[in-house]
Amino acid sequence: MNKRIKILVFLLLIIIVFVIVISYWITKNHVKGSSVMPETEINTANLNSSDKKPPNTNTEVSNTETSDAETSDMETSNASIESETTIMLEEHERSQYDKVIMVGDSRFSEMSAVISHPACEWICKEGGDYDWLSETAASLINNSLVQNCAIVLNLGVNDPDNANKYIEFLNSKVDVWVEGGADIYFMTVNPVDNTYNGKITNNDILDFNNTLMANLSEWVAYIDTSNALLDNGYETTDGLHYDRDTYIEILEYCLRQLRVG
DSSP 216: S
The pLDDT, as a whole number, for residue 59 is 39
What is the CB neighbour count within 10 angstroms for residue 165?
A: 15
CB 87 within 8 A of CB 114: yes
Question: pLDDT tens digits for 211-233?
Answer: 999 999 999 999 999 999 999 99
Q: Mean pLDDT by 10-residue block, N- to C-terminus, for the chain (261 residues)?
A: 69 74 55 28 28 36 41 46 49 73 98 93 97 98 97 98 98 98 98 93 97 97 97 96 97 95 77
What is the CB neighbour count within 10 angstroms for residue 235?
A: 13
Determine whether 180 is exposed, middle or buried from the number of CB atoms within 10 Å of its CB (0-12, 13-18, 19+).
Answer: middle
Rounded distance between C-alpha atoms, residue 97 and residue 255, angstroms: 10
User: What is the CA 221 to chain-centroid distance, rounded?
Assistant: 15
The pLDDT, as a whole number, for residue 143 is 97
Helix (H) or strand (E) holding 152: strand 149-154
Question: Is the pTM above the cut of 0.85?
Answer: no
H helices present in 38-162, as ranges: 74-82, 106-114, 130-132, 138-144
